[in-house]
Amino acid sequence: MTTFHDLDLSPALLSAVETQGYDLPTEIQTQTIPVILSGRDVLATAQTGTGKTAAFVLPLLHLLAAHPPKREARESDSAPAQNRGSNGTSRGANPVSYPRVLILAPTRELAVQIDERVAAYGAGQGIRNAVVYGGASKVNQQRELRRFPQVLTATPGRLMDFIGEKQISLARVEYLVLDEADRMLDMGFIPDVRRIVGMIEGHAQTAMFSATMPKEIADLAAGILRQPTFLESTAGGMSAENILQTVMFVEQANKLDLLTEVIDREQMFRVIVFTRTKHRASRVAKALCKSGITADSIHGDKTQAQRTRALAGFRGGKTRVLVATDVAARGIDVDDISHVINFEIPAEAETYVHRIGRTARAGSEGAALSLCDGTELQSLRQIEKLIANRIAVDRDNRFHVEHAPPAQPKQRSGKPGQRGRSRGPAAHAQFSRQGRRR
């Protein structure tokens, strides 16, 4: 059994890992950390919940400490001679920040959470870190940039803004991470990513992580990675045996009533409900609250402060249900999510992978329930094609309708005709113990 001590991390990082309460590395950490420490590029497919953030943060912090830069960026580097004071600092001009590590993330939530991990693992080691993202004032972010962070986590759009304003330079980037590259593709960031990579002088050691590997991401990897090591982790992913996947066929008009009934009946406590649109996310959250189920929503129309409060309430247990759009949910890192419910079937099959990866983390059990109306059957079949399995149908509810010939549930034993894991709402009850308020 591999331990963190076997991965040749520095004593300071091992102490930080222990302080954070981690005993053993996950599969993706065991695979990735030695490769990054060896100086090679990485292309990894890893689902949400596999521990991939630590898989790149830990070795990069190790390399930062082990290999000091040839020239440290300071204020005197960024100001013209006529603007410098007698002590070499700039007068009036915005100094330029030269990060050594650049981590790109598709959303502000994910960027913030990565930065928090950098701070936690780098505590006591003198690591300077900062995060920049859109949808928030630049003032505080500019203040952080004036600390000359060694590790910068950023969303592509805000990073391009600061580069354009000459407050960030990528001339000294030595290490580059592209996290959730497939989501950056979905959000239209790939052109910005290509421009950002082109601004890095020479070749930065690069690690790219993606839950799925569409052709566009493979092409991007081919253009920026040098003889990468290919890694794949399925732990915590869509095919995990400890995720109960079921679907309920229901008319669209009855979805809210069915959702409320299922959450209430099974006493679900920590639940993420996914919707396709921002308007519906707000509508579903309000309807749940009216039914006596504490809920909040998170989507692009919310301010950063509102999103932060919603996540804090969900993490702290004040809110039972968090209703989210796919974009807003990227980067949500909350432990012990017992249920993921697809209020609407995602149009892209790969999105289903991201959604259900929120539950059953670190070997725990969880459930993924999809509410499917007649217009969503094609999307459901595409998901089943992607995961190479039929999702078991739960017919034991008063709103059930037959949209199509029933999908055959997965068999778990050799007995002819025996049902799979779905046995109606009772099937969810086996997981409700972990979802109930204690």
CB count within 10 Å of CB 237 equals 21
The CATH number linked to 286 is 3.40.50.300
> Is the CB of residue 361 less than 8 Å from the CB of residue 236?
yes
Interatomic CA distance for residues 148 and 199, integer angstroms? 18
Per-residue pLDDT at 190 = 94
Give 423's pLDDT tier (boundaries 50, 70, 90): very low
Q: Which of 161, 53, 106, 103 is nearest to 300 (CA)?
A: 106
356 and 307 in a common domain: yes
In the chain, the number of structural domains is 2
**Position 356 in a domain:** yes
Q: Which of 233, 265, 291 is the last residue of a domain?
A: 233
Q: Tell me: the pLDDT tens digits for 101-139?
A: 999 999 888 898 899 999 999 987 889 999 999 988 899
320 and 213 in a common domain: no
260 and 226 in a common domain: no
207 and 126 in a common domain: yes
Give 421's pLDDT tier (boundaries 50, 70, 90): very low
Q: Is the pLDDT of residue 72 over 60?
A: no
Q: Which of 233, 264, 284 is the last residue of a domain?
A: 233
183 and 90 in a common domain: yes
> Is the CB of residue 46 less than 8 Å from the CB of residue 52?
yes
Taking each continuous run of H as one helix and of E as one strand, the counts in the chain are 17, 14
Buried b (16+ CB within 10 A) or exposed e, 325-349: bbbbbbbbbeeebbbbbbbbbbebb
pTM of the model: 0.62
Per-residue pLDDT at 49 = 63
> Is the CB of residue 371 less than 8 Å from the CB of residue 255?
yes
**Position 371 in a domain:** yes
Q: Provide the strand spans (E) within 60-212.
A: 101-104, 129-132, 151-154, 175-178, 205-210
CA 58 to mean position of chain CA atoms: 17
418 and 271 in a common domain: yes
288 and 161 in a common domain: no
**Position 238 in a domain:** no
Q: Which domain holds residue 352?
A: 243-435
Q: What is the mean pLDDT of residues 404-415?
A: 42
311 and 173 in a common domain: no
**Position 34 in a domain:** yes
200 and 168 in a common domain: yes
Query: What torsion, rounded to 10 degrees, do the Cα atoms 167, 171, 172, 175 define?
Result: 100
Interatomic CA distance for residues 332 and 48, integer angstroms? 9
Q: Tell me: the pLDDT tens digits for 342-391?
A: 999 988 777 787 788 888 776 678 899 999 999 999 999 988 887 778 89
Q: Is the pLDDT of residue 9 over 60?
A: yes
Q: What is the mean pLDDT of residues 23-45?
A: 92
Q: Which of 202, 233, 264 is the last residue of a domain?
A: 233
> Is the CB of residue 68 less than 8 Å from the CB of residue 100?
no
103: CB partners within 8 A, 6+ apart = 56, 111, 114, 118, 151, 152, 153, 154, 176, 177, 179
**Position 46 in a domain:** yes
> Is the CB of residue 273 less than 8 Å from the CB of residue 284?
yes
**Position 90 in a domain:** yes
CA 35 to mean position of chain CA atoms: 22
39 and 179 in a common domain: yes
190 and 96 in a common domain: yes
Give 235's pLDDT tier (boundaries 50, 70, 90): low
Interatomic CA distance for residues 146 and 130, integer angstroms? 10
Give 407's pLDDT tier (boundaries 50, 70, 90): very low
Interatomic CA distance for residues 303 and 185, integer angstroms? 24
Per-residue pLDDT at 24 = 81
Per-residue pLDDT at 319 = 96
**Position 345 in a domain:** yes
Give 194's pLDDT tier (boundaries 50, 70, 90): very high
**Position 198 in a domain:** yes
* Pairing mode of beta strands 129-132, 151-154: parallel
* Half-sphere CA count of 1, side-chain side, radius 13 A: 5
CB count within 10 Å of CB 276 equals 16
Interatomic CA distance for residues 332 and 319, integer angstroms? 15
Q: Tell me: the pLDDT tens digits for 274-314?
A: 999 999 999 999 999 999 999 999 987 888 788 889 988 99
364 and 382 in a common domain: yes
Q: What is the mean pLDDT of residues 211-228?
A: 92
